Amino acid sequence: MKKIKGGYWLLRFVLGVMLVMIIGVTYGCKKREQEQSDYQIYYMDKEKASLLMSGYNTDTSDVRKLAEELLVQMKKAPDNVDMQKVMPENVKIQSIDMENYVLHIDYNAEYASMKKKEEYLCRAATVLTLTQIENINFVVISIDGQGLTDSQGNPVGALRAADFVDNSGATINSYKSVKYVLYFANEDGTKLVDKTYDGITSNNTSMEKYVVEQLIKGPSDFSVNRTLSSHVKLLSISTVDGVCYVNFDEAFLNESEEVSSEVAIYSVVNSLCDLGYINKVQISVNGDVELHYHENIPLNQPFMRNLDLLEKKN
């Protein structure tokens, strides 16, 4: 009888635990449903080293008014003590305009006084917040009517959410300032032109990946021409013993710009070798190296830097 009685109380105990778990899961699901928000407002953390999000709900549907509303929220101090707003108090919005899925924001001159890293986080937070709005695909930032430029004076241009996330879709949270060189094409596509840029990238992103992605993105000024089509996708990239293995999709072979084959290949090779720790570059397409680029350049051997294609400066 004792065994039966003990088993009975054990059974009651197990059933009780299961009931508590079911109630907890149900409550948790309801709580998560309640926590779902229409939009996420991006803020900085206390160390000004990463971006954090806070949910925001609204009934506003007009695109322009909604953009203004979200920007107002970004200017307010967040309730969460671990967050802080990305815009200093003296930075003011002078005008907002919408045109063909592009939102133009003009700030006052104080925007330019922000520290470089803080400005980048402000830029990223603005774009990530506003491009959540349907029909806003790009954001263009200007200061007193002049387009935003980097430290080299190159136009930043239209920005999209993808400029601030990695391949997994994760927002840039820790970052570093970088200086790098990209090799683009000259006016007639027969020579390479080297351009030095300043940028900020995630600590989780390798410099080789960042450099190739910037090549695919293309130049931000009109003095040089792109060498890779914007349709090209970087499938993988890694460096082992000084050899960088770059794997593109088939668009690398099928899509082309009005540049010579050598200029296209060595824009990639020279840009990567300029990082200093890469000696050779092995290019593949969907993992295959037994191919020819535009039928005249075999890909089955690694490439070394070629400065003979560099246009001579006056």
d(CA 74, CA 263): 44
d(CA 283, CA 302): 7
pTM, entire model: 0.57
Residue 18 is predicted with a pLDDT of 53
Give the β-pairing of 292-293 and 303-304: unpaired
pLDDT in tens, 218-236: 987 788 999 999 999 999 9
pLDDT at 19 > cutoff 50: no
Asked if residues 131 and 159 have their Cβ atoms less than 8 Å apart, the reply is: no
d(CA 274, CA 266): 11
* Geometric angle at alpha carbon 196, from 194 and 202, rounded to 5°: 125
Task: Return the DSSP state at 164.
Answer: G
Helices (H), the chain: 2-35, 63-75, 116-130, 207-217, 251-254, 261-273
pLDDT in tens, 157-173: 888 887 776 544 555 55
Indicate the residue type of 206: S
